Amino acid sequence: DYIYVFIESSQVQKLLKFFGKETERAERVFVMGGGTTALMLAEALEEKGMSTKIIEKRQDRCEMLSSRLDRTICLHGDGTSQGLLREENIQDADYFVAVTSDEEANILGALLAKQLGAKRALCLINKIDYTHLIPMIGIDGVMNPRQATIGKILHFIRKGKIISSTPLSDEKAEAVEFIALETSEITGHPLATIKFPKGTIIGAILRNEQVIIPTGDTVILPGDHVILVTMRSAIPQIEKILTVKLDYFG
């Protein structure tokens, strides 16, 4: 089963402990691939002070990455090579992240890294159908650029003050974050009195940096940031609830 949880960021570690998934701060990260994603990831990891190594097949790309990154080590080689991974002490890695344009190579590299002792392995894939299968074969996590792109597109085409929209699981459901408008049906009434589409859950409300886990008696105020989960088929009804009331204009 896939479980989605609404929780304050300060409580995440406690939640992971509850689920038996305690985590330690990552110190050593291997990145397979030298494209734009790898560069951006390495820059972010450098900012966090993590020891990072990039493995890239193309010599010219390695040279470019070396010139752009301050503390990241760029290795010219194949991230699916057992010999190279052993030589670079992959068993000491906290994370191995495969982000090449070849998703089969990403899966192979992540699997190999785990077998050779890396604590955790993540891989980038484009086929959403693979998302559920990857954890079954021993890889710890999947990144799907298509889902991220879909979310960005939906953000622009949705009505109301929607900040973000992210497809969940098999894309039959969406998590939507929006700003409550003073003139929409969702504000000023207890949640229990609002006719939400079947299966819709108001997961969290952010009000003046306070996180509220709502009940049926909770009243959403104008300006609140609200996160809800609903079925994709119900989105038109949600949009209607979020948009401006007609009587506001007359």
Taking residues 242-250, what's their average pLDDT? 52
Tally of domains within the chain: 2
What's the mean pLDDT when you consider all of the chain? Answer: 83
Domain's final residue, options 143, 178, 213: 143
Q: In a 3-state reduction of DSSP, which class is residue 133?
A: coil
7 belongs to a structural domain: no
Pair 204, 238 in one domain: yes
- Mean local confidence (pLDDT), 44-73: 94
Contact 100, 12 (CB under 8 A): no
Pair (57, 133) in one structural domain: yes
Average pLDDT value for residue range 93-118:
94
**Domain's final residue, options 81, 115, 143:** 143
Q: Per the domain annotation, does 5 fall within a domain?
A: no
Q: Is 218 part of any domain?
A: yes
Mean pLDDT of 105-111: 94
Element (H, E) at 51: strand 51-56
To the question of pTM greater than 0.85 for the whole model, the response is no
Same domain, 113 and 166: no
- The boundaries of the domain holding residue 166 are 148-244
Residue 96 has a pLDDT of: 95
Q: End of a domain among 82, 112, 143?
A: 143
pLDDT of 171 = 65
Same domain, 208 and 170: yes
Residue 95 maps to which CATH number? 3.40.50.720
Same domain, 57 and 119: yes
pLDDT at 153 over 60: no
Instruction: In whole angstroms, give the CA distance from residue 222 to residue 186.
Output: 9
Would residue 66 count as lying in a domain? Answer: yes
Q: Is 32 left (phi over 0), alpha (psi -120 to 50) or beta?
A: beta
Higher local confidence (pLDDT), 42 or 232: 42
Mean pLDDT of 17-34: 81
Average pLDDT over residues 99-104: 91
- Say if CB 205 and CB 225 are below 8 A apart: yes
- Closest Cα to residue 96, out of 64, 134, 55, 127? 55
pLDDT tier for residue 98 given thresholds of 50, 70 and 90: very high
State the average pLDDT over residues 127-139: 73
Instruction: Indicate whether 135 and 165 sit together in one domain.
Output: no
Judge if 185 and 89 occupy the same domain.
no
The answer to which of 23-32, 82-91, 98-107 has the lowest mean pLDDT is 23-32
208 Cβ partners below 8 Å, 6+ apart?
none
Give the CATH number for residue 235.
3.30.70.1450
Judge if 98 and 32 occupy the same domain.
yes
Return the higher-pLDDT residue of 241 and 32.
32
Q: Is residue 6 part of a domain?
A: no
β-pairing, 173-179 vs 141-143, is unpaired
Does residue 17 belong to any structural domain of this protein?
A: no
Q: Kindly state the tokens that stand for 133.
A: 């299968």
Structure confidence at residue 157 (pLDDT): 40
Instruction: Report which of 55, 128, 132, 47 is spatially closest to residue 97, judged by C-alpha positions.
Output: 55
DSSP 206-224: EETTEEE---TT-BB-TT-
Q: Is the pLDDT of residue 184 over 60?
A: yes
> Do both 200 and 102 map to the same domain?
no
The predicted pLDDT at position 19 comes to: 77
Same domain, 126 and 54: yes
